[in-house]
Amino acid sequence: MTTPIALVTGANTGIGFEIARGLLERGMTVVLGCRDLKRGEVARAELAKAGKGEAVLMQVDLANLNRLRNFVSKFLERFERLDLLVHNAGIWPRTRRKTEDGFELTLGVNHLGPFFLTDALLPLMKKSAPSRIVVVTSSMHTEAEFDFEDPQFKVRQHHGGTAYAQSKLANVLFTRGLARRLEAKGAGVTVNAVHPGVVNTGLRREAPPNARAPKNLLSPREGAVGPLQLALSADLAKLSGRYFEGTEQKTPSPAALDVAAQDRLWALSRTLLKLPPE
Ligand code: NAP
């Protein structure tokens, strides 16, 4: 039997580290897609003790399209299949900053980078079908409307929470838009989104010191349970375009269910990333 190959972005810490651990315990080969190779190597050494599978470290920087292109060509040289792609990496910056390519950082890292990576790896995932994509979003998507007039806060005042919530709405819009396209082509690739719970990680590292810390935080291992269910459960193998909170399927916000918004975001993302229209 061929060993299944998984790619987990942001696998050096937090929820991504525990998702990687769970997959390694199942014997998968897990590519740890980390932006910082030093931090990634520390995680790889720790995860190497985790289980039957092999942990492979590769650089994935979602804030730099050239680095993403490099990653994809190295990945395609090295691996002949991709069974599971977990878009886990994410940030919540408090100030307006930019990616290497000039995108507003929150949208760039949380949505545009994953969109670009998916587009580049999808042909391999289709060849590897049945295969799965898991998108780690947030219940905070329910607080957002996607502002198509000013998605990158060029005109309106940047607000960290608003930018984060909008990017997490983009995750669900993307999941549903992609699921429709994959289903229409009978591609054998599923994609689902999951809110992991409110988890004790470094995500809120830029929160002001006087900000109230959320209560009853889950551990990163508990936060990984929902994503791992979507990645591994045989019962969910055919499910696509759905939104989960932990292990429970839920209805996402009305804004996320808006098909016109899904298609508008799809077209906007392709334009911004200079990908050919479909
Ligand atoms: P975390 O501990 O801060 O981990 C985030 C990961 O993303 C880190 O590995 C980080 O790498 C990586 N990352 C940041 N910028 C990147 C870039 N440019 N390219 C590639 N990787 C990058 O946070 P977490 O809570 O585990 O977050 C994981 C996911 O869960 C995120 O998508 C987040 O939105 C979602 N989520 C978390 C919560 C929560 O309560 N924690 C709730 C809902 C949703 P570095 O270590 O190098 O910074």
Give the number of the atom of ligand 1 that is nearest the alpha carbon of residue 64: 18
Burial 233-266 (b: 16+ CB within 10 A, else e): eeebeebbbbbbbbeeeeebbebbebeebbeebb
The number of the ligand 1 atom at minimal distance from the alpha carbon of 16 is 26
Sign of the alpha-carbon dihedral angle for 172, 23, 106, 250: positive
- Spell out the domain ranges in the chain: 5-272
Expressed in angstroms and rounded, the spacing between residue 277 Cα and the centre of ligand 1 is 30
Q: What are phi and psi of 80, to 5 degrees?
A: -100, 0
| pLDDT > 90? residue 225 | yes
**Cα 117-112-181 angle, rounded to 5 deg:** 65
pLDDT value at residue 214: 82
Alpha helices in the chain (DSSP H): 14-25, 37-47, 65-78, 105-107, 113-127, 160-185, 220-223, 225-232, 254-257, 259-272
- CB count, 10 Å around CB of 81? 15
Q: What is the mean pLDDT of residues 242-247?
A: 98
Provide the sign of the torsion angle of the four alpha carbons 25, 31, 34, 36, taken in this order: positive
Per residue in 59-80, pLDDT (tens digit) is: 999 999 999 999 999 999 999 9
**Contact 53/28 with Cβ under 8 angstroms?**
yes
Identify residue 173 by its one-letter amino acid code: L
Residue nearest to ligand 1 atom 39, measured at CA: 199
| High-pLDDT (> 90) share of the chain, % | 91
Ligand 1 mean position, distance from CA 2 (Å)? 30
What is residue 205's predicted lDDT score, i.e. its pLDDT? 86
Q: What is the mean pLDDT of the chain?
A: 96
Q: For the domain 5-272, what is the CATH code?
A: 3.40.50.720
pLDDT classification of 261: cutoffs 50, 70, 90 = very high
Binding site membership of 195 for ligand 1 (Cβ less than 6 Å): yes
User: Is 40 close to ligand 1, i.e. is its CB under 6 Å away?
Assistant: no
Reported as a single tens digit per residue, the pLDDT across 100-137 is 999 999 999 999 999 999 999 999 999 999 999 999 99
Whole-angstrom distance, CA of residue 52 vs CA of residue 56: 13
Does residue 29 contact residue 53 with C-beta atoms inside 8 Å? yes
Q: Is 10 near ligand 1, meaning CB less than 6 Å away?
A: yes
* Whole-number pLDDT of residue 253: 98
Ligand 1 centroid from CA 1, angstroms:
33
54 CA distance to ligand 1 middle (Å): 22
Closest residue by CA, ligand 1 atom 43: 138
Indicate if ligand 1 lies below 6 Å from the C-beta of 198: yes
Ligand 1, atom 42: closest residue by C-alpha: 198
What is the 7 CA–ligand 1 centroid distance (Å)? Answer: 15
The pLDDT of residue 108? 98
User: In angstroms, how far apart are the furthest CA atoms of the chain?
Assistant: 54
Beta bridge partners of 86: 8, 134
35 in ligand 1 pocket by Cβ < 6 Å? yes
How wide is the angle at C-alpha 21 spanned by C-alphas 16 and 62, nearest 5°?
30
For a ligand 1 pocket test, name from 201, 219, 230 the mutation site with the most ligand atoms within 8 angstroms of its C-beta.
Answer: 201
The phi and psi torsions of 68 (rounded to 5 degrees) equal -65, -40
